[in-house]
Structure 1
Amino acid sequence: MLLPETCQTGTLLKRYQRFLADVALDNGSILTVHCPNSGSMRGCSTPGSPVVISRSDNPKRKYAWSLEMVQEQGVWIGVHTGRTNHLVHEALRQGVIDDFGAITTITPEVVVSAKSRLDFLVESEQGLTYLEVKNCSLAEQGVAYFPDAVTTRGTKHLHELVQLREAGFGAAVLFCIQRSDATRCKPAIHIDQVYAEAVAWAASRGVRFFPYQAAVTPREIVIRRPLPFSIH
């Protein structure tokens, strides 16, 4: 996935009020930008870090610019969670994500209850699989962790996936790891014990977990390879 040509580089001054960040541009001007990430951004929001921002052509937006990625210790990290499903859809179509066999149809944003949707329904030679996608931006000592903050929504999705699995469908979670310095992936029990325990429970009931790592540069983000996943 190529990033918009309107991207610029700058320096992160601070992230605040969850969805806002101040960025100093290379010409010295300061912009308040939208931060499209509801997590804590632990390990990828250090003041002084290089960033990439993109400009929207939507005239109705209060903040025209969005934070795309942050560089920490020389590693670019994709933090724009609105890009994640597009990345995964692209990798599914191109066969980079091949855990479901030959795919015939990919349906996004599938309603599974009165108040909930899952990211994809994948139809393949393995049958129908409901797939929930999680953006993973946190890595510590070579391990990619999800989540980076307590996620009751993520736990709810696991319960829904177990119900679908028990109804005879395939059910899976894909962690999209948008950084190059991880070699494996685990649930972040040190951040959200309830979610980590729900992962183990869901896995014991047939839900599958797939971490995939993306190559992240200031011009492009592309899912490249699977990583090992361990529950504990």
Structure 2
Amino acid sequence: MIIDKNIKLAKFIRRPNRFQAYVELDGEELMVHVPNTGRCREILIPGVTVVLREESNPSRKTPYDLIAGYKDNKLINIDSQIPNKVVEEALRNGSIEELINYKDIKREKTFGNSRFDFKLMDEFEYFLEVKGVTLEKEGITKFPDAPTERGTKHLLELVQVKKTGRGAGVLFLIQMENAKIFKPHDEMDKNFGEALRFAYSKGVDVMAYDCIVREDLISLNNKVEVIL
């Protein structure tokens, strides 16, 4: 998908809380919005180059979103709103190998008391949850980068979907290129890792794909090996 808004490069200064950061843009210090509640500590380091997307909403306090950062020469997208958009585009293009037969694609649909990112239909219903991945070291990518009770809950709810005879899966969208493998980040959140393995043992599909990432573009790229 093309990011069709004005893009600027800036120098990261600091992040006082989850939603705000300060950058240097055109020689001036500016507060921007961070659309990611994760820690992103290995990306948002003082002095690194970050990518800003201009937002024109007059009611906003900040004129830009900080959507990506350079880690050495690797550009990592951190916008938490992006994964669902990229996955929807890929689903409609038939780019996700495991889900290529699903043509009826609906966003944000409920099952019981649960809301999932996608409901897909062919002969059967399939519920899909998407998780964006930004944590990487030497090609090894992990999720989550902060404890996530909500993420664990989603996995256990997918098990309940599977028990009804419907399809269920979680797709980890790695928001960078050249990922070698994906693993649950047990050191950060043991419960999430245990829930992911449990869900897989009950028939929930576990998928991972990396992305082509540019300053003004992000799209699904290659399937990545999952190690549980």
Which TM-score band applies after superposition, normalised by the shorter structure? over 0.9
Superposed displacement of residue 104, structure 1: 2.0
Q: 1:24, 1:31 within 8 Å by CA — same for their partners in 2? A: yes
Note if 1:200 corresponds to 2:197: yes
Note if 1:22 corresponds to 2:22: yes
Match of 1:213 among 210, 215, 219: 210
- Structure 1 CA distance for aligned equivalents of residues 68 and 112 of structure 2: 33
Measured against aligned partners, the alpha-carbon deviations of 1:67-120 in whole angstroms (never above 9, x if no partner) come to 110001110000011111101100111111121232221110012344x41100
- For 1:4, the aligned partner's letter is D
1:11 maps to: 11
- For 1:46, the aligned partner's letter is I
Structure 1: 5+ residue runs without aligned partners? Answer: none
- Structure 2 CA distance for aligned equivalents of residues 63 and 22 of structure 1: 10
How many corresponding residue pairs?
A: 228
- Structure 2 CA distance for aligned equivalents of residues 87 and 146 of structure 1: 18
Q: Which runs of 4+ in 1 moved over 3 A?
A: none
- Structure 2 CA distance for aligned equivalents of residues 133 and 10 of structure 1: 29
Q: Percent of aligned pairs with the same residue?
A: 36
Measured against aligned partners, the alpha-carbon deviations of 1:117-169 in whole angstroms (never above 9, x if no partner) come to 110011135x2110000000001221110000100000000110000000111
- Structure 1 CA distance for aligned equivalents of residues 18 and 126 of structure 2: 33
Superposed displacement of residue 12, structure 1: 0.7
Match of 1:157 among 154, 157, 169: 154
Q: 1:73 to 1:28 in 2, by over 3 A?
A: same
Instruction: For residue 16 of structure 1, give the secondary structure of its aligned residue in structure 2.
Output: coil
- Structure 1 CA distance for aligned equivalents of residues 185 and 168 of structure 2: 21
- Structure 1 CA distance for aligned equivalents of residues 32 and 214 of structure 2: 20
Structure 2: 5+ residue runs without aligned partners? Answer: none
Note if 1:38 corresponds to 2:27: no
Normalized against structure 2, the TM-score is what?
0.96
Match of 1:174 among 171, 175, 180: 171
- Structure 1 CA distance for aligned equivalents of residues 94 and 168 of structure 2: 19
Q: How does 1:9-88 map to 2 (within 5 A)?
A: 9-25=9-25, 27-88=26-87
- Structure 1 CA distance for aligned equivalents of residues 4 and 64 of structure 2: 11
Normalized against structure 1, the TM-score is what?
0.95
Root-mean-square deviation (CA, aligned residues, Å) is 1.2
- Structure 2 CA distance for aligned equivalents of residues 98 and 181 of structure 1: 18
Match of 1:226 among 198, 223, 226: 223
- Structure 2 CA distance for aligned equivalents of residues 223 and 146 of structure 1: 18
Measured against aligned partners, the alpha-carbon deviations of 1:25-78 in whole angstroms (never above 9, x if no partner) come to 1x2012101000011113211111101101112112122210110001110000
Instruction: For residue 151 of structure 2, give the secondary structure of its aligned residue in structure 1.
Output: helix
- Structure 1 CA distance for aligned equivalents of residues 93 and 100 of structure 2: 12
- Structure 1 CA distance for aligned equivalents of residues 109 and 178 of structure 2: 32
- Structure 1 CA distance for aligned equivalents of residues 94 and 182 of structure 2: 21
Q: 1:14, 1:22 within 8 Å by CA — same for their partners in 2? A: yes
1:191 maps to: 188
Q: 1:139, 1:181 within 8 Å by CA — same for their partners in 2? A: no
- Structure 1 CA distance for aligned equivalents of residues 73 and 99 of structure 2: 34
| Stretch deviating more after TM superposition (76-85 or 54-63) | 54-63
- Structure 1 CA distance for aligned equivalents of residues 155 and 208 of structure 2: 16
- Structure 2 CA distance for aligned equivalents of residues 173 and 16 of structure 1: 32
